[in-house]
Amino acid sequence: MPLSYGSPFTVLVVDDQEAIRSALTLELRQVGVQTVWQAGSGEEALEVFSAKRPDLVLLDIRMPGHDGYWTAQKIRDAEPGNWTPIIFLSGMDRDEDLWRGIEAGGDDYLVKPVTPTVLAAKLRAMQRLLGMQRRLVAVTEELNLANQKLNELVERDPLTGLVNRRGMDRLLYTEIRQAKRDRKPLTLMLCDIDHFKRYNDSAGHVEGDICLQRISNMLGQICKRPSDVAARYGGEEFALILPDTPKSGAMTFARALTQMLSSLKLPHPDSPTGPLVTLSGGITTCVPDDSTSPETLIMRADEALYAAKAQGRNRFFSFEFQLDTIEQLQG
């Protein structure tokens, strides 16, 4: 009786004898398989498998050159993380042959000649297994997507839309490992809004939140590369993770950031530094090694931030240069 397939079902028949391939193809079509590909050797089977990705492989064991066991192993190697049912076909019916076929990556074993009834039953069983595997993959992908969206929500600051402290810690750890493997420089900047408490006391917390949002939007815009990360470190403090950025590039970035903020002309109602909102920042850059950790980078950037404030605010101080952005311009 022909099988009813919910979706197109494809089969690759591998046998060195053309007559057997033709007979199997005819039987497969009689039981409802619409698309059948053929291969006369292990090497040809791998080519067809890679190009067509059939739903099932009927594989002869005894073939000139590479046999069916070798072919099955190569098929499994070609699809890491996926699974295509493989049914071995052979005139041998010893227990050892069955065991070797399963060990080589096969899922079932049919002794030739194969009757249409047995072939149809095996196809139905493999189709069910394949359907369950595909549903499992689909559910897994849905769960991964849901987890990704959940992580994005958990690691996103609701006021500013930037990555929050939790997300920053995770990303900084990841970027340290990547920079260590690639032997490339990694820059971390910590900055905060100068005299922000006085801003809130004078303008109110609603206006303070709007100021935070405008600064955050600017930081998000200046991080143009996909790998750059702007994060809200806490309160009026922000962090910038800049992979593959040397110390000279970090200073250039900091000057551009300061100029962009200046062009916004955000008024500060009560700042001893000046009439506009300004930032002070600390910069540290290194090529990570075994001693590098998120804690050590944050500590060094925080020390540089303290130095920027001590030298008058409205500037970024580089830990490695022992120089701030204003001194660099004057030099």
Q: How many domains does the chain have?
A: 2
Higher pLDDT, 176 or 149: 176
Residue 150's pLDDT is what?
64
pLDDT confidence tier of residue 61, bands split at 50, 70 and 90: confident
Residue 152 lies in a domain: no
Same domain for 207 and 293?
A: yes
pLDDT confidence tier of residue 327, bands split at 50, 70 and 90: low
For residue 308, what are its two tokens? 């920027």
SS3 104: coil
For residue 106, what are its two tokens? 């096969």
Same domain for 48 and 176?
A: no
Higher pLDDT, 78 or 199: 199
Residue 76 lies in a domain: yes
Same domain for 223 and 117?
A: no
Q: Phi, psi (5° rounding) for residue 39?
A: -145, 140
Residue span of the structural domain in which 75 resides: 10-139
pLDDT confidence tier of residue 329, bands split at 50, 70 and 90: low
Say how far apart CA 213 and CA 37 lie, in whole Å.
60
Q: In what order do the strands lie in the sheet with 86-90?
A: 35-39, 10-14, 56-60, 86-90, 108-111
Domain edge (last residue) among 139, 155, 181 = 139
Same domain for 94 and 187?
A: no
- Residues linked to residue 56 through DSSP beta bridges, in sequence order: 11
Average pLDDT value for residue range 290-306:
95
Residue 153 lies in a domain: no
Q: Mean pLDDT over all residues of the chain?
A: 87
Residue 39 lies in a domain: yes
Residue 176 lies in a domain: yes
86-116 per-position pLDDT tens digit: 988 877 666 676 677 777 777 888 877 777 7
Same domain for 135 and 216?
A: no
Q: How far is CA 2 from CA 31, 115, 124, 267, in A?
A: 4, 14, 10, 79
Q: How far is CA 94 from CA 11, 61, 110, in A?
A: 26, 13, 11
Same domain for 111 and 187?
A: no
Say how far apart CA 130 and CA 197 lie, in whole Å.
62
Residue 44's pLDDT is what?
94
Same domain for 171 and 135?
A: no
CATH of the domain at 182: 3.30.70.270
Same domain for 131 and 171?
A: no
Higher pLDDT, 319 or 70: 70
Residue 215's pLDDT is what?
96
pLDDT confidence tier of residue 1, bands split at 50, 70 and 90: very low
29-58 per-position pLDDT tens digit: 888 888 999 999 999 999 999 999 998 999
Same domain for 233 and 85?
A: no
Residue 145 lies in a domain: no
Residue 51's pLDDT is what?
92
Residue 216's pLDDT is what?
96
For residue 203, what are its two tokens? 């303008």
Same domain for 96 and 186?
A: no
Q: How far is CA 115 from CA 32, 78, 88, 95, 102, in A?
A: 15, 31, 15, 21, 22
CATH of the domain at 42: 3.40.50.2300
Residue 3 has pLDDT above 60, yes or no: no
Residue 93's pLDDT is what?
64
Residue 127 has pLDDT above 50, yes or no: yes
Listed in order, strand segments (DSSP E) in 177-313 are 186-193, 229-234, 237-243, 279-286
Same domain for 132 and 195?
A: no
212-240 per-position pLDDT tens digit: 999 999 999 999 899 999 999 999 999 99
Residue 286 lies in a domain: yes
Angle between helices 247-264 and 205-222 (to 10 degrees): 140
Same domain for 226 and 324?
A: yes
pTM of the entire structure?
Answer: 0.59
Residue 128 has pLDDT above 70, yes or no: yes
Residue 175 lies in a domain: yes
Residue 98 · residue 106 · CB < 8 Å: no
